[in-house]
Chains A and B, each alone.
Chain A
Amino acid sequence: MKSPFPSRAFAVFLRDARRELRRRTTLAAVLFFAAAALILISFSLASVALPAGDRAKLNAGVLWILLFFSASSGLPRSFVREEESGTALALRKTAAGEAVLVGKFLFNFLLFLAIAAVAVPLFCLLQSWTPANPWSLAIVLLLSGFGVSFVSTFLSAIVSRAGQKDILFVLTALPLLMPLLLPAVEATAHAAADPAFAAIDPVWKVLLSYDGLATVGGLVLMRFVWEG
């Protein structure tokens, strides 16, 4: 009798988390990237004078560029690192693909949230930008971060055994994540400009639907990706 699926997925998450806690390379790399981008953005936008509505749209777009590219410097590593170091064979021999996907997604989602927790307040501070409804913004970040993390994890599994992994990841991630990122930018701008929760309606439903479809699709297809 096997233990339930969540505990198997959690073991995969713990494996990644312990490695990262002892090595800290991924976290350091993404936070360094985010900090560097943040400083560049702050200096370049400091002297731009815009009406409040336009400023919210610009900030929303720039914030998502910052979050997406910072996350992209770390998220694709989850499966690629396993293949490159030879540790994927032990995992493939013991764990089901779906448990591995969910475990690695959990790690990547936490990584995304850690980036957001550092980058978003700093971005707001440096841009002297106060979102009208921080809770709406948090909901948008959670829903979008879920989608970005899940799709990136799944694509990492696909490209991990291919040649030219990095370019392949970018080429496949862009069209797949665009339907998530565009509404995410829109919802972020609404959350920043309007204090009412209704401001992010119905975009949050689009984000939630994307997350649901991506999760179901990824879990159904993972078996074929994992077994090769």
Chain B
Amino acid sequence: MKFEAKGLAKSFAGPPIFRDVSLSAESGLVAVTGRNGSGKSTLLKIFAGLMRPSRGSVDIWSDGRRLAEGERGDAIGWASPELEFIDELTAAENLSLLSRAAGRPKTSGAIAGLLDAFGLARAAHDRRVGEFSSGMKQRVRLAFSLLLEPPVLLWDEPYSNLDQQGIDAARALMNGRRETGVVILATNDRRDIEDADDEVSLS
């Protein structure tokens, strides 16, 4: 499996916020860095297929075959502070219905296991997301990114609002995933990406 982005540029009714961004990775941790407003979150949204680039392309190759658009969406997991869930549903209900809407329904056991990995086992079934703290919501976002077991993970500021236990859980998962797939992490904190295998720096 290979993640490939070529010549990406994005502008919003003005000069491009970034241009000529290219990246190719088969596994490992890729850091996306840059000052505030440099387009890190926008770049990750383009990688995730949630936004169209002004120029360039994003592809995923598997066994020498370029994945079609629908397959590509499932192959990429994304978590961002912008991501929200329905307040009136529990975390487990949110993830279960989203997996069913994606056409890849997960059993309640699989979803419980996923949320448990982020320390949300009990709260995920007992409490609605609207009652969650900001740190708990961040854990649900990270769990959501892993919902369809994607080989490519895009994490935008993944440790924001997390306590040390949450950070440790997220780091452990990330370290496991980077061995077998690609983890692309956008952050302002250099400590999070000290051991990155590659870096995309946006100025």
Residue numbers of A with Cβ under 8 A of B are 2-4, 7-8, 10-12, 14-15, 18-19, 22-23, 85-87, 89-96, 99-100, 103, 227-228
Whether A89 and B101, one on each chain, are in contact in the complex, defined by CB atoms closer than 8 angstroms, is no
- The answer to whether A19 and B89 touch across the interface, beta carbons within 8 angstroms, is yes
Please tell me if the beta carbons of A228 and B100 are within 8 angstroms of each other in the complex.
Answer: no
Q: Which residues of B contact A (CB under 8 A)?
A: 48-52, 70, 73, 78, 80, 82-89, 93-94, 97-105, 128, 144, 147-148
Q: Is the CB of A227 within 8 A of B83?
A: no
CB<8 Å pairs between A and B, sample of 7: A7-B103, A14-B100, A22-B88, A22-B128, A94-B99, A99-B101, A99-B103
Interface pair B102/A8, CB less than 8 Å apart: yes
Given contacts A2-B104, A8-B101, A8-B102, contact A96 B52 (CB under 8 A): no
Assess whether A89 is in contact with B84, with CB atoms less than 8 Å apart: yes
Residues of B within 8 A of A96 (CB): 70, 103
Beyond the given pairs A2-B104, A14-B100, A94-B147, 15 more chain A to chain B contacts, judged by CB atoms under 8 angstroms and listed by A's residue number, are: A8-B100, A15-B101, A18-B93, A22-B88, A22-B128, A86-B84, A87-B84, A89-B83, A89-B84, A90-B98, A92-B50, A94-B73, A94-B102, A227-B52, A228-B51
Give the residue name and chain of the B residue nearest to A15 (CB).
B97
A11–B86 CB distance below 8 A? no
Q: Report yes or no: A14 in contact with B88, Cβ–Cβ below 8 A.
A: no
Give the docked Cα–Cα distance between A92 and B102 (Å).
Answer: 10
CB atoms of A100 and B50 under 8 A apart: no
Q: From known contacts A89-B83, A93-B48, infer whether A14 and B105 are also in contact, taking CB-CB under 8 Å.
A: no
Give A93 to B141 CA distance when docked, in angstroms.
12
> For the complex, what is the distance from the CA of A96 to the CA of B101, rounded to whole Å?
8
Residue of B83, B97, B101, B104 ringed by the most chain A CB atoms within 10 A: B101
Q: Once bound together, how far apart are the Cα atoms of A92 and B144, in whole Å?
A: 13
Complex-state Cα separation, A227 to B78, whole angstroms: 16
The answer on a CB contact under 8 Å between B82 and A86 is yes
CB distance from B37 to the nearest CB of A (A): 20
B56 nearest CB across to chain A (Å): 16
A95 to chain B: closest residue by CB: B101
The smallest beta-carbon distance between A116 and chain B, in angstroms, is 26
Known: A92-B50, A94-B148. A3 touches B100 (CB 8 A): yes
Residues of B contacting A19 in the complex (Cβ-Cβ under 8 angstroms): 86, 88-89
Note all chain A residues with C-beta closer than 8 A to B70.
96
B100 touches A11 (CB 8 A): yes
Name A96's closest neighbour in chain B (CB-CB): B70
Query: Shortest Cβ distance from A81 into chain B, in angstroms?
Result: 10
Q: Which A residues are in CB contact (< 8 Å) with B73?
A: 93-94
Is A87 a contact of B51 with CB atoms below 8 Å?
Answer: no
| A100-B84 in contact given A19-B89, A93-B48, A93-B78 (Cβ < 8 Å) | no
Contact call B101/A12, Cβ cutoff below 8 A: yes
The residue from A12, A18, A94, A227 contacting B88, defined by CB atoms under 8 A apart: A18
Give the complex CA separation of A28 and B52 in angstroms.
38
Given contacts A22-B88, A91-B98, contact A3 B104 (CB under 8 A): yes
With A93-B78, A95-B101, A100-B101 given, is the CB distance from A23 to B52 under 8 Å? no
A94 touching B93 in the complex, CB below 8 Å, given contacts A15-B86, A86-B83, A87-B86:
no
Say yes or no: A2 contacts B103, CB within 8 Å.
Answer: yes
A11 to B103, CA, bound (A): 9
Chain B residues in 8 Å Cβ range of A23: 88
**Which residues on the B side are within 8 Å of A3 (C-beta)?**
100, 103-105
State whether A8 touches B85 (Cβ < 8 A): no
Q: B102 near A95 (CB under 8 angstroms)?
A: yes
List the A residue with the shortest CB-CB distance to B48.
A93
Among A15, A87, A92, A93, chain B packs the most CB atoms within 10 A around the CB of A93
